Structure 1
Amino acid sequence: MRWVWTGVAVGVSVLGAGAILAQTELNQTSGEKIFKANCAACHAGGNNIVEPEKTLKKEALARFGMDSQGAIIKQVTGGKNAMPAFGGELSTEEIRQVASYVLEMADQDWQK
């Protein structure tokens, strides 16, 4: 009986991990879709067509103090200089998903 109980517990743990992984993948996919629909015109591949030195690459994000989710959320929500504000167009959750996506892609040097 103990073996069966352990098997059930392991099965539940695996299912729980699968649900968490599925939710993470959903968020990443959502962040990517939102980014492509709203940001990629200027930031495709992590670049910046308006101010080329201010890319979304890891080094540039660090240099300009944009290497945290909070900083990116603030920038996307309120805009700055040539970048428009998206706070009126995207929900708080959508902006959070975009910030997560940007940081993830910066860690991967925008190679996916």
Structure 2
Amino acid sequence: MLLSAIPNCNKSLISPALNQKKGNQEVESQWAKPRQELKLLQRLAPPIFAAFVALSPIIAPPVSYGQAIDVQRGASLFNRACIGCHVAGGNIIQPGATLFLKDLQRNGVDTEEEIYRITYYGKGRMPGFGEMCTPRGQCTFGARLQEDEIRLLSEFVKSQADQGWLNIGNGGD
């Protein structure tokens, strides 16, 4: 009754034990909702993360590490043996014989096997780079390439032609 007569009186000064019990309930009720949300998040996190991993193109690389190494080696071989005439897939000697897909198709050289054959034995003004290249006048005077190197080179040229020679860069040197 006395408390009701004094409007600004703090009840905590009069009954600290009662107020402490009430305060603990308020604190617990403040944390109840976040705890429920945390439990829900803990239950949903694994399936959400699994779906993200399965659907994300960033996490699933397009090629294996071994394939990336082969592409890099192919680019390095290209930069060493071919770039003198075929800068970025073009052809500074014979403009109609570029390494762009449309020219390769027009010239009947649009498969890895055909690219391999021409790289090994040569054709027209293009010298052959194979170890067993003949006739002598058709073959390069420079260093010869081994069969596996020519295979990597033909795979690289075909993949770049399919992509429009966008990724030539410095790849491997």
TM-score (norm: length of structure 1): 0.80
Identity %: 34
Number of residues paired by the alignment? 95
* SS of 1:41 mapped into structure 2: coil
Aligned match of 1:8: none
Q: Which amino acid aligns with 2:105?
A: A
Aligned match of 2:47: none
Pick aligned residue for 2:86 from 21, 34, 43: 43
Pick aligned residue for 2:123 from 80, 90, 98: 80
Q: Which amino acid aligns with 2:92?
A: I
2:110 aligned with 1:55: no
Aligned match of 2:108: 65
CA RMSD for the aligned pairs? 1.5
Q: Which amino acid aligns with 2:109?
A: M
TM-score (norm: length of structure 2): 0.53
Q: Which has the higher contact order (CA 8 A, sep 6+)?
A: 1
Q: Which runs of 4+ in 1 moved over 4 A?
A: none
Q: Which has the higher helix share?
A: 1
